Amino acid sequence: MDDAQIEAIEGEADVAYNSELAHTSAQALLPMGRHFRETDRDAVARVQALVDSEGVDVVAESWVRSPEDSLPGILWRGYLLREWIRREPDDVARRFEAVVTALRGRGDAGEANSIPKPGAIRQEWDLVLAGAYEGDFAALLESSATFARHLGEIEAVWIEADTHPLATEVTRRDSALLATAREFFVAATLVEQGRLE
C-alpha cells in the first residue's frame, strides 16, 4: 500500500469517527430516533457531563460537517442561530425591527406579531443545547425557520466577514439565512415523521 492509500483509509476512519462523535453528542443532548436506541448509554452520560462542566461549545464543533438533514447538522444550525442572537444582539434587533416595520407597513400586523422574538428563540435553543429541552422540537424548528426566513428576507447575508467568530460554510453561503430557514423547515418535517437522527 502506498502513502496515499494509507491516508485515504485513515481519512475514512476519521470521517466515521467524527460522524459517530457528532451523532452521539447530539443524541446526548436531544435523544431521538433509531440512532439513540443504539447509542452507548455510558457515552451519552459522559457527553452530558462534559457539556455540564465545559459547555456545549466543546461538542458543537463535532457537528460542523454533519448534513443538514441529520440531528447533529440541525443542532449545528441551531447552535449558530443561538450564538448569533447572543453575540450580535444589536444586529439581530435591527433586522427584527426592520421585519416588523415592513410587515406593519404592508398592513400585516398579525404576521408581524406572530414572528418569534429573538429572546424566545435563544431561550429555547439554550435549553436544547444544555440537554434540558422538554418541548416540541418540531415546533422549535418551525419557529427558528420562520424567524430566519423573515430576517433573511430583509437581509439574506447572515455573517458578512470571513473573520467573524461565527463565519462557517453555513453562515457565509449565498442567502445563508434563507437557506438555513429551509433546512429548519425540512428538519421539522423529519422530526414529525420520526426520521431526524
Looking at residue 51, its pLDDT comes to 87
Assign 3 a pLDDT band (cuts: 50, 70, 90). Answer: very low
Which of 4 and 41 is assigned the larger pLDDT? 41
Which of 8 and 124 is assigned the larger pLDDT? 124
Of 144, 133, 166, 14, the closest CA to residue 78 belongs to 144
Looking at residue 10, its pLDDT comes to 39
Arithmetic mean of pLDDT over the chain: 88
Looking at residue 48, its pLDDT comes to 84
- Res. 12: pLDDT tops 80: no
Read off the pLDDT of residues 138-184 as tens digits, 9 standing for 90 and up.
999 999 999 999 999 999 899 999 999 999 999 999 999 999 999 99
CB 133 within 8 A of CB 124: yes
User: Between the CA of residue 42 and those of 29, 72, 118, 150, what are the distances in Å?
Assistant: 14, 19, 35, 41
- Res. 14: pLDDT tops 70: no
Rounded percentage of the chain residues whose pLDDT exceeds 90: 69
Cα 88 to chain centroid, rounded: 16
Read off the pLDDT of residues 102-121 as tens digits, 9 standing for 90 and up.
999 999 889 999 999 999 99
What is 129-165 written as a DSSP string? Answer: HTT---S-HHHHHHHHHHHHHHHHHH---S---TTST
Assign 7 a pLDDT band (cuts: 50, 70, 90). Answer: very low
- Res. 136: pLDDT tops 90: yes
What is the mean predicted confidence (pLDDT) over 41-67? 87
Assign 37 a pLDDT band (cuts: 50, 70, 90). Answer: low
Q: What is the pTM of this model?
A: 0.88
